[in-house]
Structure 1
Amino acid sequence: MTSIVVRGLDESVKRQLAAQAKENGRSMEAEARDILTRGTRRPHIGLALARAAEEAGGFDDLQLPGRADDARAVDFE
Structure 2
Amino acid sequence: MATNLVVRNVDEEVALALKQRAAANGRSAEAEHREILKAVLQRPRRRSVADVLASMPDVGEDADFNLRNG
Given the two structures, how large is their TM-score scaled by the length of structure 2? 0.67
Tell which has more relative contact order, 1 or 2 (C-alpha 8 A, sep 6+): 2
Aligned length: 57
CA distance in 1, matches of 2:3, 2:50: 33
- Which consecutive unaligned segments of at least 5 residues does structure 2 have? 58-70
- Which consecutive unaligned segments of at least 5 residues does structure 1 have? 58-77
Q: Which of 1 and 2 has greater Rg?
A: 2
The CA deviation at 1:18 is 0.3
Tell me the percent identity.
Answer: 39
Given the two structures, how large is their TM-score scaled by the length of structure 1? 0.62
Measured on the aligned residues, the alpha-carbon RMSD in Å equals 2.1
CA distance in 1, matches of 2:27, 2:45: 27
Where does 1:31-46 land on structure 2 (aligned, <5 Å)? 31-45=32-46
Residue in 2 aligned with 1:49? 49
Provide Cα deviations, 1:8-67, integer angstroms capped at 9, x if missing partner. 00111111100000000001011000000010123444x35343223215xxxxxxxxxx
Residue in 1 aligned with 2:6? 5
